[in-house]
């Protein structure tokens, strides 16, 4: 099988999370050929991979959104739209279920580049009409630049060549899911959509907190990502999630229940199950396996650790992972200096399983997660976890329906320094409890999170996707 992964902002440019999943998936299915259709933010990342590509990757086709900003338009060209094309464009701008096949044709046939399309008099007339109907009290230029920011990447990506494949598989909705949907539609192939987190919910949180988006246009941005999600859910032959609650949310957002599958993450357990307990050395070592980014809420972790140090001087905090956001990283360093926090160690990228042997327990303070590898790896290594109650974290730590292994750590509300501090103190002061949690975690990981189960689960999803696609083609 020739599988095209459509990847937005992840593999092979950044480590961890989805990228770790993709790399392990490809390497452990050597009998299949893979093509990578990547979407990145800036062209300066071209060819700068954090991973050595596996031998069964036959092609990587890179696309960078900032390339669209360098395009120029032929202002003299007169673009005309048929009534059906005009309707589709109006529905696109208002985020009301446009005809995406027709939009794909418009992008490919009506303009040399997306800037030319967006600057055309015909499209400007549609935007003016929308402004009069919906935003009569907002400056037209503000609305125009908002719409340009939203749809320039869409039309730019629509004009990029898409590699041929037996099946298209996107790991998010958003731009990646949209392109996967359109590629499958244009090339008449099955499409599988997998969400490691609920992309639309994550973007909604960012939009509501954003300072650069005019508050008047926040509902439009949210509607834009919701519209893409609806299209992706409708276009996909199968839709997967990592755990049951995420699948329920997908269905609430419009995904047909009969398309849904739950396939948990999996790891190579043999790398972790044999890691011995840390030898006592007078220190309690806490590890956080994270990317340095705001969504991981490293600041709450630093605040809490600072308070912990006042109660227990013999603790160390190890933050394992790459810097994803340099500005945020500098803010974290400033916070450490401000509070004069000792024994905080930023390790950068390390071999996780080797470093886990140096830790007593781990923590994850994210404000949003799916089913984090950091927790699964910690459980398999016999390291209890203190984590925020987001995504699937509570079920990983405490067990789901039918799981009687017992707690493998402690769960606290996100951004709750007091709750996190209590969890840290309890785990630091009770080695017997840590041993019981370690045993529960290893047993849970062995029962539910073996990589081979994940691989077979997705191969089964691919077969169901092909069958659904064939059935729809014959109707």
Tell me which of 151, 176, 205 is where a domain ends: 151
| Beta strand spans in 101-200 (E) | 167-170, 191-195
Residue 62 lies in a domain: yes
Tally of structural domains, the chain: 3
The answer on 278 and 333 residing in a single domain is yes
| Digitized pLDDT (tens) for each residue of the chain, 475 residues in all | 999 999 999 999 988 889 999 999 999 999 999 999 999 999 999 999 999 999 999 999 999 999 988 887 766 567 889 999 999 999 999 999 999 999 999 998 888 888 888 888 999 999 999 999 999 999 999 999 999 999 999 999 999 998 999 999 999 999 999 999 999 998 999 999 999 988 898 888 889 888 889 999 999 999 999 999 999 999 999 999 999 999 999 999 999 999 999 999 999 999 999 999 999 999 999 999 999 999 999 999 999 999 999 999 999 999 999 998 999 999 999 999 999 999 999 999 899 999 999 999 999 999 989 999 999 999 999 999 999 999 999 999 999 888 999 999 999 999 999 999 999 999 999 999 999 999 999 999 999 999 999 999 999 999 999 999 998 877 6
The answer on 221 and 298 residing in a single domain is no
Task: Copy the structure tokens of residue 16.
Answer: 């961890």
CA distance 269 to 353: 11
Q: What is the CATH number of the domain that holds 234?
A: 3.40.50.2000
Residue 473 lies in a domain: no
Residues 6+ apart with CB under 8 A from 12: 19, 22, 23, 36, 38, 49, 50, 51, 53, 60
Residue-number span of the structural domain to which 120 is assigned: 83-151
The answer on 123 and 90 residing in a single domain is yes
HSE-up of residue 305 (Cα within 13 Å, Cβ side): 32
Residue 339 lies in a domain: yes
Say what the pTM is. 0.90
């Amino acid at each position: 099988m020739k599988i095209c992964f459509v990847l937005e902002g992840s593999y092979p440019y950044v480590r961890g999370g989805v990228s770790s999943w993709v790399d392990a998936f490809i390497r452990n299915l050597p009998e299949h050929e893979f093509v990578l259709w990547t979407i990145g933010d800036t062209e300066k990342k071209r060819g700068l991979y954090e991973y050595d590509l596996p031998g069964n990757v036959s092609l990587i086709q890179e696309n960078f959104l900032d390339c669209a900003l360098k395009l120029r338009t032929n202002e003299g060209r007169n673009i005309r739209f048929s009534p059906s094309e005009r309707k589709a464009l109006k529905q696109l701008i208002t985020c009301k279920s446009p005809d995406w096949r027709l939009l794909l044709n418009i992008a490919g046939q009506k303009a040399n580049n997306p800037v030319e399309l967006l600057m055309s008099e015909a499209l400007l007339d549609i935007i003016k009409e929308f402004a009069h109907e919906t935003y009569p009290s907002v400056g037209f230029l503000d609305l125009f630049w908002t719409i340009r920011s939203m749809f320039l990447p869409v039309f730019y990506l629509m004009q990029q060549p898409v590699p041929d494949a037996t099946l298209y598989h996107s790991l998010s909705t958003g731009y990646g899911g949209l392109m996967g949907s359109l590629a499958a539609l244009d090339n008449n192939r099955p499409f599988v959509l997998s969400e490691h987190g609920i992309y639309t919910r994550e973007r909604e949180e960012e939009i509501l907190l954003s300072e650069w988006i005019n508050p008047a246009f926040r509902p439009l941005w949210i509607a834009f990502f919701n519209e893409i999600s609806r299209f992706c859910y409708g276009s996909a032959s199968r839709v997967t999630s990592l755990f049951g609650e995420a699948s329920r949310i997908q269905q609430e957002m419009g995904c047909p229940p009969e398309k849904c599958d739950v396939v948990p993450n999996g790891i190579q357990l043999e790398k972790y199950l044999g890691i011995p307990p840390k030898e006592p050395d007078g220190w309690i070592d806490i590890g956080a396996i994270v990317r340095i980014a705001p969504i991981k809420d490293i600041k709450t972790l630093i605040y809490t650790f600072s308070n912990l140090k006042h109660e227990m001087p013999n603790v160390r905090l190890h933050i394992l992972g790459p810097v994803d956001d340099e500005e945020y990283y500098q803010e974290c360093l400033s916070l450490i200096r401000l509070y004069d926090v000792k024994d905080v160690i930023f390790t950068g990228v390390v071999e996780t399983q080797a470093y886990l042997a140096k830790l007593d327990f781990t923590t994850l303070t994210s404000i949003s997660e799916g089913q984090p590898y950091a927790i699964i790896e910690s459980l398999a290594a016999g390291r209890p976890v203190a984590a925020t109650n987001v995504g699937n974290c509570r079920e990983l730590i405490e067990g789901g329906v039918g799981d009687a292994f017992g707690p493998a750590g402690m769960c606290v509300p996100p951004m709750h320094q007091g709750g996190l501090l209590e969890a840290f103190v309890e785990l630091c002061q009770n080695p017997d409890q840590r041993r019981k949690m370690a045993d529960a975690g290893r047993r849970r990981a062995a029962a539910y999170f073996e990589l081979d189960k994940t691989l077979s689960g997705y191969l089964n999803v691919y077969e169901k996707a092909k069958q659904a696609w064939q059935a729809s083609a014959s109707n």
